[in-house]
């Protein structure tokens, strides 16, 4: 399939075949938790990128031993596509209820693709302070990076056609599900 | 004819007036302002959204306060801000408004924040830019004549929604010099568009515009009657500098009838909020005990005003 550039594995991610088709979100989350257990600092603070990453950060904070306060980030004000796309319709308030200065941070996102959202989120974090370190945990890595950014922890890797976007949804009962959508030409895709 | 404030996709490209602005556009501005409120609380009070853009504050009428809030908003978006005090400059040499604008566009202006004593001046500039195909240059009205002051209206709406959550079910009294107040006009349009249950215009006959009822408000000449059961009380400044002719006997007389005191405020709902666009005349339209009391949300209005202006600027500049 096109659109998969073949990325390096995350620092602690094991070699895994990229799967064609979508993994089950629950299985990918269980895999991500396995990889983070014992590897993540006991006092690491989890910062979820809205919206999918925010749901995941809450799940990970419950599942992973240690003391992991959860914060939320919406890096819309730091995105590099503002000049082309304008501001997206729904911007959430970033809420980081702890000191960033000197903290060990794990950024959490649902899908790692171009790396641009992560770049924007890191930039925003630095306007709150200088973290001791930042790691990145993602539910799925779909390749296609446009920046030199890699995840530290990955739940699943997959190959998806470039014209598709991978989206995480959360049902009323909290069940997470992955789906693909045809990327519209909408300005806020 | 298309609303000159919106582009072909219905997105905001200029902010000229709240009159005729769809509810979903107003709601989106208010929603966008929410995350901007937290920027002011950070150590680094800046986001890079408008980095490299040039915002020209074009003030044909003096207003230190409004100009400053726009300047702060633009700087917190990382824009470069150029303040032009036009009253003392080109126009006195005979240059027309649109020639001034064309000169500044030739200097690569990206946005004009315009205040003018003539109603319609920002509209004229926006129409000129649209007509000449320079749609990448945006206009924000910072107050024109008696016509409109849309960012003040929006920050009032933001404040009301912040404390009261919704507009439906609310009774809002706007009290005082409505005749000279573009703030009141913008707020009335905003409140009715957002579905506010009842909007009351309270003031003496001489300070209410003729046919103000046509804006969808209930007129009260008695302050006590106007305050009964209100959720929100908006006090307006008695605009001495705009008074032409004897509309009022005296400021003291005005306070006696229309000044908001704790005793009169007690007629409103127990959780009513009191707002004022500033600058306040203590002892003329508002008693100090109210201005400094628990019901007053006058200083939060100022803080929210920065976030609302950031939201407006970042929305128009991105469309």
Q: List CB contacts (< 8 A) between B37 and chain A.
A: 93
**CB-closest option in A78, A86, A89 to B48:** A78
CA proximity to B235, closest of B289, B294, B302, B284: B284
**DSSP characters over B183-228:** HHHHHHHHHHHTT-SEEEEES-GGGS-TTGGGGT-EEES-HHHHHT
What are the tens digits of pLDDT across the range B209-222? Answer: 988 999 999 999 99
Q: Do A127 and B44 touch (CB under 8 A)?
A: yes
Smallest CA–CA distance, residue B49 to chain A, in Å, is 5
Looking at per-residue pLDDT, the higher value among A110 and A184 belongs to A110
SS3 state of residue B81? strand
Note whether residue A28 is domain-resident.
Answer: yes
Note whether residue A10 is domain-resident.
Answer: no
Note whether residue A68 is domain-resident.
Answer: yes
Q: Place B93 in a pLDDT band, splitting at 50, 70 and 90.
A: confident
In chain A, which residue's Cα lies nearest the Cα of B41? A128
Q: Is residue B230 within 8 Å of B173, Cβ to Cβ?
A: yes
Looking at per-residue pLDDT, the higher value among B150 and B206 belongs to B150
Number of domains in chain A: 1
CA B232 to chain centre: 17
State the residue for tokens 């404390």.
B163
Q: List CB contacts (< 8 A) between A83 and chain B.
A: 318
Q: Do B318 and A127 touch (CB under 8 A)?
A: no
Q: What pLDDT is attached to residue A13? A: 36
Q: Place A188 in a pLDDT band, splitting at 50, 70 and 90.
A: very low
Q: List CB contacts (< 8 A) between B314 and chain A.
A: 77, 82, 87
pTM of the model: 0.90
Note whether residue A1 is domain-resident.
Answer: no
Note whether residue A4 is domain-resident.
Answer: no
Q: List CB contacts (< 8 A) between A128 and chain B.
A: 42-44
CATH, residue A121:
3.40.50.2020
What are the tens digits of pLDDT across the range B208-259? Answer: 998 899 999 999 999 999 999 999 999 999 877 656 566 777 888 889 999 9
Q: What pLDDT is attached to residue B239? A: 77
Q: ipTM value, please give it.
A: 0.83
**Residues of chain B that touch chain A, judged by Cβ-Cβ distance less than 8 Å:** 11, 28, 31-32, 34-35, 37-39, 42-44, 46-49, 314-315, 318-319
Note whether residue A177 is domain-resident.
Answer: yes
Q: Place A1 in a pLDDT band, splitting at 50, 70 and 90.
A: very low
Note whether residue A11 is domain-resident.
Answer: no
Domains of chain B with bracketed CATH: 23-148+303-318 (3.40.50.1370), 150-299 (3.40.50.1370)
Looking at per-residue pLDDT, the higher value among B206 and A35 belongs to A35
What are the tens digits of pLDDT across the range A18-27? Answer: 445 789 999 9
Q: What pLDDT is attached to residue B3? A: 86
Which residues sit opposite B147 in a β-bridge?
A: none
Residue-range definition of the domain harbouring residue A106: 19-182
Q: Do A87 and B318 touch (CB under 8 A)?
A: yes
Backbone angles phi, psi at A106, to 5 degrees: -115, 110
Q: Do B32 and A91 touch (CB under 8 A)?
A: yes
Smallest CA–CA distance, residue B202 to chain A, in Å, is 37
What are the tens digits of pLDDT across the range A85-130? Answer: 999 889 999 999 999 999 999 999 999 999 999 999 999 999 999 9
Note whether residue A188 is domain-resident.
Answer: no
Size of chain B in residues? 319
Q: Is residue A152 within 8 Å of A135, Cβ to Cβ?
A: yes
């Amino acid at each position: 399939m096109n659109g998969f550039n073949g990325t390096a594995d995350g620092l602690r991610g094991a070699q895994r075949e990229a799967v064609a088709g979508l993994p089950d979100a629950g299985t990918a989350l269980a895999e991500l938790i396995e990889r983070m257990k014992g590897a993540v600092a006991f006092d690491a603070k989890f910062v979820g990128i809205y919206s999918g990453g925010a749901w995941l950060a809450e799940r990970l904070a419950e599942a992973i031993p240690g003391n992991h306060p959860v914060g939320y980030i919406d890096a819309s004000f730091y995105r590099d596509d503002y000049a082309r796309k304008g501001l997206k319709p729904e911007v959430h308030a970033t809420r980081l209820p702890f000191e960033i200065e000197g903290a060990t941070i794990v950024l959490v996102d649902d899908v790692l693709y171009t790396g641009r959202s992560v770049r924007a989120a890191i930039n925003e974090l630095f306007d709150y302070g200088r973290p001791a370190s930042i790691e990145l945990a993602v539910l799925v890595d779909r390749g296609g990076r446009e920046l030199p950014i890699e995840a530290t922890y990955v739940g699943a890797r997959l190959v998806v056609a470039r014209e598709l976007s991978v989206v995480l949804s959360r049902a009323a009962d909290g069940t997470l599900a992955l789906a693909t959508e045809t990327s519209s030409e909408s300005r806020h895709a | 004819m298309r609303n000159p404030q919106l582009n072909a996709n219905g997105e905001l490209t200029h902010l000229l007036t709240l009159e005729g602005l769809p509810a979903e556009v107003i709601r989106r501005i208010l929603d966008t302002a929410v995350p901007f409120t937290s920027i002011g609380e950070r150590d680094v009070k800046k986001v890079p959204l408008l980095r490299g853009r040039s915002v020209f504050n074009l003030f044909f009428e003096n207003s230190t306060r409004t100009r400053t809030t726009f300047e702060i908003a633009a700087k917190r978006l990382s824009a470069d801000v150029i303040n032009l005090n036009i009253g003392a400059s080109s126009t006195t040499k005979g240059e027309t408004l649109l020639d001034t604008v064309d000169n500044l566009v030739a200097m690569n202006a990206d946005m004009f924040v315009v205040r003018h004593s003539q109603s319609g001046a920002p509209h004229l500039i926006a129409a000129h830019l649209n007509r000449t195909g320079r749609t990448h240059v945006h206009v924000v009205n910072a107050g024109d004549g008696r016509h409109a002051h849309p960012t003040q209206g929006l920050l009032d709406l933001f404040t009301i929604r912040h404390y009261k959550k919704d507009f439906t079910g609310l009774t809002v009294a706007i009290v005082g010099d409505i005749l000279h107040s573009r703030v009141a006009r913008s707020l009335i349009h905003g409140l009715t568009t957002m579905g506010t249950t009842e909007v009351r215009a309270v003031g003496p006959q001489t300070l209410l515009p003729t046919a103000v009822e046509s804006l969808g408000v209930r007129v009260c000449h008695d302050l006590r009657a106007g305050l009964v059961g209100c959720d929100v009380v908006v006090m307006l400044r008695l605009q001495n500098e705009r008074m032409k002719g004897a509309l009022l006997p005296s400021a003291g007389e005005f306070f006696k009838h229309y000044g908001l005191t704790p005793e009169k405020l007690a007629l409103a709902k127990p959780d009513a909020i009191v707002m004022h666009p500033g600058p306040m005349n203590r002892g003329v339209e508002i008693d100090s005990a109210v201005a400094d009391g628990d019901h007053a949300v006058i200083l939060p209005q100022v803080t929210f005003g920065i976030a609302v202006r950031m939201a407006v600027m970042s929305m128009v500049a991105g469309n």
